[in-house]
Structure 1
C-alpha cells in the first residue's frame, strides 16, 4: 500500500526526536557503560568512541530485534489506537518523551537507563490513549521489566564479584602475580571469546533461525571460537607483553604485536632496567603523593590563619612588605591571595578552557560585526561544544570538586588495595576485549529500544497499516540510531563519565574486567530471553559487587549510589508524564480525529 502522505510531518518529526533520543543514549547510557574502561585507563576516551561505533552496531544488528519487539508490541495493545495515524502519533510521542528526559538527565549528571526511559514513555502513551487498564502490567508486559530492575543489579553484582574473587586470590594476591597472570591470560581470553560467540549464536543472531543449528554445532562453534582466540593470544599477545613487562622494552609499539613469535627474540634497549616505565601507570593520580596538594593546602591555610591573628598587632607598624620581603613578614592579604591562587591551580576540572568571545561595537547587523561573530565567536564556540569533549581529561574530572569532595575521594581510594602495576597491565588487554563484549551487549538491548518507536512510525507511514508484532526494524534505522549514539558519546559523554568511574570506587584493569564481564553476561542472557534489562543497572551492580570485594565498605561512594538509585526511580514516571501529556494534548486537538 502507499504511504500516508498526509502524515509526513509526524515521520519527519520522529526522525528528529529519534536522533536526539539516540544522542542522549550515547551521552548517558553508553557513556555509563564505557566509564569503567576509561576510568581504569584500559581505553582512552577516543578509543572508547571507536569501540562504540563498531560494537554497538554489531550488537544491535545481530541480537537486538527481539528486545525491540518486546517493548514495542507487548506493553500497549493495538486497540489503544483507533487509526494508524494515532499509532504514528503515539510512538512519535514516545520518542519525544524519551529524548526529552534523557537529555535532561544528562545535563543534570544523572545516569539513567535508556531501556527504562523508553518503557516509561510507552507506558505514558498507553495510559493517555487507553487508560491504566490498557497497559499490560503482567509478566508478559511491564511485569518482567519491573522484576529485571532488581534481578539485573543483583545478578551482575554476584557474577562480577565471583570473577573478581577468582582473579584476586588466584592471580593478584599471589607472590609472583605477574607470572601467574602471564600463564592465566589464554584462559581468560578463551572465556571472553566463548561468551561473545555464545551471545551471537545462542538464539540471538537474526540471521540464524531457531533450530537451524544443532547442539553439537553450537558447542563446537563456541569452543572453537574460544580456542582460536586463546591460541592467538599465545602467539601474539604473550610475546608482546613479555617484551613490555619482563624485558622492560619501552620502545615497543602496539603495532609490533603483529610480529608475533618473533618478539621473543627482540632485544630491549641497553638502558632498559627495572625502573624503566615500559607499561602505563594504571593507578596514576591515585597515589598518596598525588593528593599531597590537599595537605599542603591545609598547611598554607594554617599560615593564613596565623597571619590573620597577627594582623591586628602589626597594624600600628609600618607595612611589613616594605620593611621585610621574607615570607613570614608578608601582609596577610597577600599570603591569602597566594594560597587562593595555589588552590585554583590544583583544583583541575579536566575540561578545556572556554573560548574567548571577541566583543563587538555598534549594531550586530553591520558587516564587520557579523564577520567578527562568525569568525571569532561562533566558530570557537562550535569547536568547543562539538569537539571539546575529545580534549576532556576524564580522570581529572572524576577527581575535581571542592576540597571536601577531593578528600572524600582520596579516603575512599585509600581503602582499596592497589595491586602490582605489571599484573594490572595484563588485565588491561582483557578489559579491552570485555569492553567490546559490554558494548555488544548494550547494542543488543538498548540501541534497539531507542529506535523501536521510529521503526513503528516508519512501518505505519510506509504501509498505511498498523505496526504489528511481525514488523522488522530496517537496517537503516539501526544505522541512523548508531550514528546518533556515537555523536552523543563523543560530544557529551564526558558529562556522565565525570560522575562515574573513580568517583564511585577505585578502578583498575583487573576490577574493570570483572565488572564489564559480569554485566555483559547478565545483559546477554536477558537479551536471549527477550527481557529488556538495564545495562546501566547491570554495570552499576557489577561495580558495587567488585568494590565490596576489593576492600572494606568504605571503598564505595554510597552517597553517589543513592543518587543513582533516585534517578532510576524517577525515570519511568517522568518519561511517562512527558510522552503521555504530549500525546493527550495533540490527540485531543481540533481536527486530528479527522485523519
Structure 2
C-alpha cells in the first residue's frame, strides 16, 4: 500500500464525483434533448427519468473490471522504459488524477457554454497530454488517427441513417391519407425495431464481467497462454449462435413489454387531448388580447415585425431588427394583418381573421370559453404581415416557469421553459420552427411514446457503458494505492460505480438543461418523429461501430443524426400551405442553425486540443517540479 499517496485517493474521489457530474450535464443531456425539444415529455420528467435510468445502468450493469488506462492510449511497455525503475505505477497514478481533474473542469466549462462535447474524446486527449509529458513514444499515435477519422465518418453515417429513416416514416405514415391508422398499424413493427436494437446492444456490447469465471487463452498446441477476467463480450464472441439466439429472444420479449404500455399511453394521450378540445381547451392557439406585433414571411424566408394595436399601429421602419413580443396561448392563433398602405400615422383599419391550427374549429369562427394562456417573448425580425402560431404550455405550466419566460425570478433547473428562453435569445429558433413542416398531432403521439421509451433505454445503456469514464481513472488510482503496482485489469468496486452513477444523475439535474436546450431546440426544429429517428440512428451506428471495434463518440453521432433529419425537413408557407423549401442538391440547408452547428464542430476539435494541452501542462508540473526525496 502506497501510504504516501493517501491524499491522491481522497482528491481522486472528489474529482471522480465532479467528472460524473460533468458527464451528466453534457453527455446524458443528449439522450433526452430530442424528447424535450419535441415536447414529448416535460423537462422535469425527462430529468427524473434520465437520472433514475442512469443510476440503474451504472450500478446494475456497469463494468466491474476495467483497464488501468482507458481506451489503450498508452504503450505500457514503452512507459516502463521511459520512467525511473519501478516508478511507472506512480506515473500512472498521477496521470489518472490529472485526467480526472482536467476533464471535469472542461465538461463544466463546456456545459456552461451550452456546448455538447464528447467525454470519451476529452479523456483520450487528457491521457495523451499526460503521455506526452513523459515521452512522445509512450502514446499510441495510430490510435489518435482512428479518433480523428471518426470525427467525420461517424456523424456522416448517422446523418445518412437518420435521414433515410425519417424520409421512410414521413412517406409511409406522416403524409399518408390516414396517418393515424397507418401509425397504429406500424406501431408493433416500430416496437420490435426499438427492442431489437436495444437487445443487440446489451448482448454484444455488454460491459459486465463474470466475477466467478476466468477466460483462458490457449495457443495452437492447446497450452494455456494467458488468463484474464471473463467479460460478457468474450463469452459472446466465443458463442455467437447462442448470443444471437439470446438477442432475438430478448428482442421479442422486450417488444411485447414495450407495446402494451406504449399503446395504452398513446390512446390515453389522444383521448385526453380530444376531451380538452371538446371543452374548448384543445391543441390549437389564440392570440391574447394584448398589443400585438405581426410577423411576415418574405420570399427569402426572412421574418419581420410591426406593432399592431386595437385601433392604432406603430410600424417599424424597413430593415428594423428589434426583438418583439408575440402573445401566445393554448388556443387558436388570431392572425392580425395590415398592409403598409393601411398603416397611417393617425391610426389604421387592421383586418383580422382566425386561422386554423392543427385541431381548430372551422375557420372564421371565434372559439368560445377560451382562457388566456402563456405570454412569452418570441424574437423575430423586421417587416409586416401576420403572427404565426407556436405550441405553448398549459396555464399551470405558465405559473411554474414565469421567471424563465418573462424575466422574473430564477426558476429551478427542472422548472425552466427552455422553448421560451431559446426563442427569446436565439432569433433563428422562431424562424426555423414557424416554417418547418407540421404533421397531424394524433400521428405524432405514437412517436412521442416510442421516443420517450427509447430515450430512457438510451440512458440505461449510457449508464452501463460510460460510467467507466468517471469510475475507471479513480479505480486505477485506488488499485495502485492498495497494490503498490499497476494491473492491466483493475477491479471496480460497487461503491465506485455508485459514486459515478449518483454524480451523473446530480449533474444532469442541475446543469443538463443547458445542453438539452442546445441540441433539442436551438439546432433545428425538433418533433417526435425526428427525435425517434435520431435516437434509432444513434443506436444503429454505435452497435455497428462496437461490432467493428471502433471507438466513436455518441455525442458526435447524435449531432450528425439531428443534422441529417433537419436536412430532409421541408418548409411550408403557413397560409398557402405551399412548399417553399429552398433546396440545395435536394437538401434543406435553411432548416439547420448553421452558426450553432459550426460552434459545436469547433468545440469537438477544441476538446481534444484543450484537454491534451491541459493534461500535458499539469503532468509536466507534477513530474518535473522540484520535490523532496524522503529516502
Q: Give me the TM-score of the superposition, normalised by structure 1.
A: 0.75
In structure 1, C-alpha distance between the alignment counterparts of 2:64 and 2:550, rounded to whole Å = 9
Matched, 1:135 2:149: no
Q: Which residue of 2 aligns with 1:464?
A: 484
Q: In 2 relative to 1, CA 109–249 (structure 1 residues): closer, same or farther, beyond 3 Å?
A: closer
In structure 2, C-alpha distance between the alignment counterparts of 1:70 and 1:86, rounded to whole Å = 12
Q: In 2 relative to 1, CA 177–103 (structure 1 residues): closer, same or farther, beyond 3 Å?
A: same
Q: Which residue of 2 aligns with 1:228?
A: 253
In structure 1, C-alpha distance between the alignment counterparts of 2:621 and 2:457, rounded to whole Å = 42
Q: Which residue of 2 aligns with 1:481?
A: 500
In structure 1, C-alpha distance between the alignment counterparts of 2:153 and 2:273, rounded to whole Å = 45
In structure 1, C-alpha distance between the alignment counterparts of 2:129 and 2:27, rounded to whole Å = 21
- 1:217 aligns with one of 215, 218, 242: 242
Q: Which residue of 1 aligns with 2:612?
A: 576
CA contact (8 A) 2:68 2:472 kept: no
Deviations 1:43-67 (A, max 9, x none): 2222222332233345556776499
CA contact (8 A) 1:389 1:490 kept: yes
Q: In 2 relative to 1, CA 431–198 (structure 1 residues): closer, same or farther, beyond 3 Å?
A: same
Q: CA deviation at 1:97?
A: 1.0
CA contact (8 A) 1:70 1:530 kept: no
In structure 2, C-alpha distance between the alignment counterparts of 1:241 and 1:432, rounded to whole Å = 12
Secondary structure of 2:95's aligned partner: helix
- 2:108 aligns with one of 103, 109, 130: 103
- 1:303 aligns with one of 285, 310, 314: 314
- 1:449 aligns with one of 448, 451, 469: 469
Q: In 2 relative to 1, CA 354–419 (structure 1 residues): closer, same or farther, beyond 3 Å?
A: closer
Q: Which residue of 1 aligns with 2:514?
A: 495
Q: In 2 relative to 1, CA 409–232 (structure 1 residues): closer, same or farther, beyond 3 Å?
A: same
Q: Which residue of 1 aligns with 2:204?
A: 202
CA contact (8 A) 1:27 1:489 kept: yes
The within-5 A match list for 1:367-406 is: 388-401=412-425, 405-406=426-427
Gaps of 5+ in 1: 252-268, 307-326, 331-342, 356-383
In structure 1, C-alpha distance between the alignment counterparts of 2:506 and 2:261, rounded to whole Å = 33
Q: CA deviation at 1:238?
A: 2.9
- 2:6 aligns with one of 5, 8, 23: 8
Matched, 1:510 2:524: no
CA contact (8 A) 1:447 1:478 kept: yes
Q: Which residue of 1 aligns with 2:340?
A: none
Q: In 2 relative to 1, CA 215–591 (structure 1 residues): closer, same or farther, beyond 3 Å?
A: closer
Q: CA deviation at 1:329?
A: 8.6
Q: CA deviation at 1:469?
A: 2.3
Deviations 1:573-595 (A, max 9, x none): 11111121111112222226668
Q: CA deviation at 1:493?
A: 1.4
CA contact (8 A) 2:51 2:509 kept: no
Q: In 2 relative to 1, CA 70–202 (structure 1 residues): closer, same or farther, beyond 3 Å?
A: farther
Q: Which residue of 1 aligns with 2:26?
A: 28
In structure 1, C-alpha distance between the alignment counterparts of 2:95 and 2:64, rounded to whole Å = 21
Q: CA deviation at 1:349?
A: 7.7
CA contact (8 A) 2:294 2:308 kept: no
Q: In 2 relative to 1, CA 243–114 (structure 1 residues): closer, same or farther, beyond 3 Å?
A: closer
In structure 1, C-alpha distance between the alignment counterparts of 2:9 and 2:60, rounded to whole Å = 26
Q: In 2 relative to 1, CA 351–81 (structure 1 residues): closer, same or farther, beyond 3 Å?
A: farther
In structure 2, C-alpha distance between the alignment counterparts of 1:524 and 1:60, rounded to whole Å = 19
Secondary structure of 1:422's aligned partner: helix
Deviations 1:99-127 (A, max 9, x none): 12112222222221111111111011010
Q: In 2 relative to 1, CA 506–203 (structure 1 residues): closer, same or farther, beyond 3 Å?
A: closer
In structure 2, C-alpha distance between the alignment counterparts of 1:464 and 1:39, rounded to whole Å = 49
- 1:77 aligns with one of 75, 78, 81: 75
Q: Give me the TM-score of the superposition, normalised by structure 2.
A: 0.71
Q: Which residue of 2 aligns with 1:365?
A: none
Q: In 2 relative to 1, CA 66–542 (structure 1 residues): closer, same or farther, beyond 3 Å?
A: farther
Q: Which residue of 2 aligns with 1:560?
A: 596
- 1:543 aligns with one of 523, 540, 562: 562
Secondary structure of 1:498's aligned partner: helix
Larger strand proportion, structure 1 or 2? Answer: 2
Deviations 1:53-111 (A, max 9, x none): 23334555677649963962611233255412222111101111111211222222222
Q: In 2 relative to 1, CA 292–460 (structure 1 residues): closer, same or farther, beyond 3 Å?
A: farther
Relative contact order higher in (CA < 8 Å, ≥ 6 apart): 1
Secondary structure of 2:134's aligned partner: helix
Q: In angstroms, what is the RMSD of aligned CA positions?
A: 3.5
Q: Which residue of 1 aligns with 2:186?
A: 184
Q: In 2 relative to 1, CA 273–109 (structure 1 residues): closer, same or farther, beyond 3 Å?
A: closer
Q: CA deviation at 1:244?
A: 4.4
Deviations 1:458-487 (A, max 9, x none): 111121111x32223333222211111111
The within-5 A match list for 1:244-323 is: 244-245=269-270, 248-249=271-272, 273=278, 277=282, 298-299=306-307, 303=314
Secondary structure of 1:499's aligned partner: helix
Q: Which residue of 2 aligns with 1:52?
A: 50
Deviations 1:192-250 (A, max 9, x none): 111111111125242436346844433333333333343345545435534543xx345
Q: Which residue of 1 aligns with 2:623?
A: 587
Secondary structure of 1:299's aligned partner: strand
- 2:17 aligns with one of 9, 19, 32: 19
- 1:523 aligns with one of 530, 542, 545: 542
Q: CA deviation at 1:274?
A: 10
Q: 186-195 or 106-115: which moved more?
A: 106-115
Q: Which residue of 1 aligns with 2:98?
A: 93
Secondary structure of 2:306's aligned partner: helix
In structure 1, C-alpha distance between the alignment counterparts of 2:466 and 2:258, rounded to whole Å = 31
Q: Which residue of 2 aligns with 1:193?
A: 195
Q: Which residue of 1 aligns with 2:370?
A: none
Q: Which residue of 2 aligns with 1:374?
A: none
